[in-house]
Amino acid sequence: MNIFDVFTARIATILQSLASRGVVPAGLDLSRVVVEPPRDASHGDLATNAAMALARDAKMNPRQLAELIVPELAKDSEVASVSVAGPGFINLALKPSVFESVLREAVRAGADFGKGAPQALPKVNVEYVSANPTGPMHVGHGRGAVFGDALANLLAFAGRDVTREYYINDAGAQVDVLARSAFLRYREALGEDIGPIPEGLYPGDYLVSVGQALAAGHGAALRHQPEADWLPLVRNVAIDGMMAMIREDLAALGVVHKVFFSERSLQGGGNGGAVGEAIEGLKARGLIYEGRLPPPKGQKDEDWEDRVQTLFRSTEFGDDVDRPLMKSDGGYTYFASDIAYHKSKFDRGFAEMIDIWGADHGGYVKRMQAAVKAVTGGKGALDIKLVQLVKLMRDGEPVKMSKRSGDFVTLREVIDEVGRDAVRFMMLFRKNDATLEFDLAKVVEQSKDNPVFYVQYAHARCASIFRQAAEAMPGADVSARALAEADLTLLTDDSEAALIRLLAQYPRLIEQAASAHEPHRVAFYLYDLAQSFHSLWNKGRDEPQLRFVNHNQPELTQARLSLVQAVRCVLASGLGVIGVSSPAEMR
């Protein structure tokens, strides 16, 4: 139950009834009416801007309109008091029974508390990672992976039908370079001394095993073939090897995609395959032409070759310049493939698409959105979330990255050092469009400075309280069902009330984070919740009557355990959404 939604609906009903009595005009636009927690708890439990938002359309001043709404709200059996404040806010204080029933619901629903009902909205496709299959993942890829995965979890939890997808860039020149690099390792595996890796090839030793696999599978058979003969075969083996490695890296992060979509698969077949088809479709609508582009300004243009090329009219859809689809060697540009790829997503039923990209691809956003508009006739929606750079630190000092390629800090090294939970949590403890400092030393500290520890510890502390209770009161029934029956009117302390209010916001938080495509809000909420819970726990130090477990007051203890259980469930639920584990102890 989302009490904010419940009251938004009730206010709408009140306005309809006022309209039917002719007190206010009919057909007011209620979309701007929001019910939210007031910033200051002394204002009550809920606040709405209804009177202010509707005043102009109703041709009344806000306070006048508020005075019409207030008596209706006051009749509500769950409302304790209503008042008008400031420029026309309507503040509601709710009866304690409302929060008691929220708490009961949280205890009963457990991990499902806050979960959205399946929504009648289009299937949504979240495409993330899509790292080139030419080497291991680095830390920047990891941020995109965690963000995309958490966003997909969040949307699914909010009730959307979500598909997680990975686009394999296996069609460009870079995979031919990969194949040549692997071929060198193959010769090495056959016993040849290959010396230093030539400039322009991938030097990383992660290709050694690919070379060995080729040697084991083909012996010396490929060695003296012309490149044109061995390249496709070696390329496939190398790509498969790289994708296996990437999948292992992703698995270490707990990231699993449902669909792996190959770029190459778009280009096969006659007439240029799916890419050719997509371009033909655009051509039929007059969106393709042969023309020249001006050279980019402020760039060295020595290599600029002014030539006529095949261009897509992306400027008709808000882009800055039209974009080329064919390379000078006659192949398709990456953009051309990407048009066909997004058309494929739409054709597969995804009217809503979300792409997660690194910030270095920011310049590509407009043209892709232009292409999606063109290729779906305006029916497909594409949101592109850019994740900014990750600066790797250790004790406040930047971690030096070697310039020699193949010797950078890999995602796997970081996961192995600090653990999956720390990586996932910290990658989400910042907005996606802000750069992120990731301190390898800080994230493993057992201290309040370390949010990962702080939140997980709150969960462990909940579990610990139950262990304590079992010892103090053996035989007590602390099942979820029993706790949901507890006498919650005994929870009267302000700190307890504050915690319950925070719990009641969880369903709303999920809805809003999901519709804003901002999983970081979940991480920040969990931090707030942990803080509120730890604070209540600490109060019990000085005021023993506030402790959760009081073995001579079983009813009170039972009520407090309900609260602890609800906190535990919401922490576990939120941690689950961002893909972080919920430990029962932190030792």
Partner RNA sequence: GACCCCAUAGCUCAGCAGGAUAGAGCAACAGCCUUCUAAGCUGUGGGUCGCAGGUUCGAAUCCUGCUGGGGUCGCCA
Q: Which of residues 530-549 bind RNA (CB under 7 A)?
A: 531, 534-535, 537-538, 540-542, 544, 547-549
Rounded least distance, CB 212 to RNA, Å: 26
Under the binding rule (CB under 7 A), the answer on residue 206 touching RNA is no
Site residues for RNA, 287-316, by CB under 7 A, read 293, 295-299, 301, 303-307, 309
Q: Residue 413: how many CB atoms within 10 A of its CB?
A: 14
What six digits make up the tokens of 10?
């009730």
Tell me the CB-side half-sphere exposure of residue 557, using CA atoms within 13 A. Answer: 19
**What is the rounded end-to-end Cα distance, in angstroms, of the chain?**
35
Q: Which of residues 340-359 bind RNA (CB under 7 A)?
A: 359
Q: Any contact of residue 574 with RNA (CB under 7 A)?
A: no
Given CA atoms 220, 223, 224, 228 in this order, what sign does their dihedral have?
Answer: positive
Q: Which of 52, 126, 189, 255 binds RNA (CB under 7 A)?
A: 52
Q: Which stretch binds RNA (CB under 7 A): 112-120, 322-330, 339-347, 408-416?
A: 322-330
- What is the b/e burial string over 297-336, where b = at least 16 CB atoms within 10 angstroms of the residue's CB? eeeeeeeeeeeebbbbbbeebebeebbbbeeeeeebbbbb
Q: What's the min distance (Å) between Cβ of 485 and RNA? A: 21
Q: Is 188 in the site for RNA (CB under 7 A)?
A: no
Q: How far is the CB of 445 from RNA (least distance, A)?
A: 8
Nearest distance from C-beta of residue 6 to RNA, angstroms? 16
Least distance (Å) from RNA to the CB of residue 133?
9
Residue 408, interface with RNA (CB under 7 A)?
A: no
Angstrom distance (rounded) from CA 218 to CA 212: 10
Integer Cα distance of 552 and 564 in angstroms = 18
Residues 6+ apart with CB under 8 A from 167: 127, 130, 261, 263, 341
Q: Looking at beta carbons only, is 121 or 256 nearer to RNA? A: 121
Q: What DSSP string describes 302-346?
A: TT-----EEEE-GGGGT-SS-EE-B-TTSPBPHHHHHHHHHHHHH
| Residue from the set 518, 519, 568, 579 that interacts with RNA by CB under 7 A | 518
Residue 113 or 453 with smaller CB distance to RNA? 453
Q: Is 63 among the residues that bind RNA (CB under 7 A)?
A: no
On whether the CB atoms of residues 452 and 422 are closer than 8 A, the answer is yes
Q: In what order do the strands lie in the sheet with 397-398?
A: 397-398, 390-394, 436-439
Which one, 161 or 511, has the nearer CB to RNA? 511
The mark string for 152-171 relative to RNA (x by CB under 7 A, - otherwise) is -----------------x-x
* Sites for RNA among residues 210-269 (CB under 7 A): 263
Residue with tokens 């890999």: 410
Instruction: Tell me which of 388, 558, 562, 573 binds RNA, using CB under 7 A.
Output: 388
Closest to RNA by CB, 193 or 397: 397
- Residue 293's nearest CA partner among 280, 304, 279, 277 is 304
Number of shown-chain residues binding RNA (CB under 7 A) = 109
**What's the min distance (Å) between Cβ of 106 and RNA?**
18
Q: Does 47 bind RNA (CB under 7 A)?
A: yes
Phi/psi of residue 387, nearest 5 degrees: -105, 130
19 binds RNA (CB under 7 A): no
Decide: is 81 part of the binding site for RNA (CB under 7 A). Answer: no
Footprint (CB under 7 A) of RNA, residues 465-504: 465, 467-468
Token pair for 317: 């859809």
- What are the residues facing 353 on neighbouring strands? 125, 382
Among 111, 334, 344, 419, the residue binding RNA under the rule CB under 7 A is: 334
| Triad 528, 533, 537: Cα angle to 5° | 145
Q: Assess contact for 43 and 85: CB atoms under 8 A.
A: yes
Three-state SS string over 365-389 comes to: HHHHHHHHHHHCCCCCEEEEEEECC
Q: Which x/- pattern, by CB under 7 A, does the window 124-143 give for RNA?
A: --------x-----------
Q: Residue 338 CB, nearest distance to RNA (Å)?
A: 8
Whether residue 508 contacts residue 5, with contact meaning beta carbons closer than 8 Å, is answered with: yes
Subset of residues 22 to 41 that bind RNA, contact rule: CB under 7 A: 31-32, 34, 36-40
Contacts to RNA from residues 430-449, by CB under 7 A: 430-431, 433-437, 446-449
Cβ closest to RNA, residue 190 vs residue 359:
359
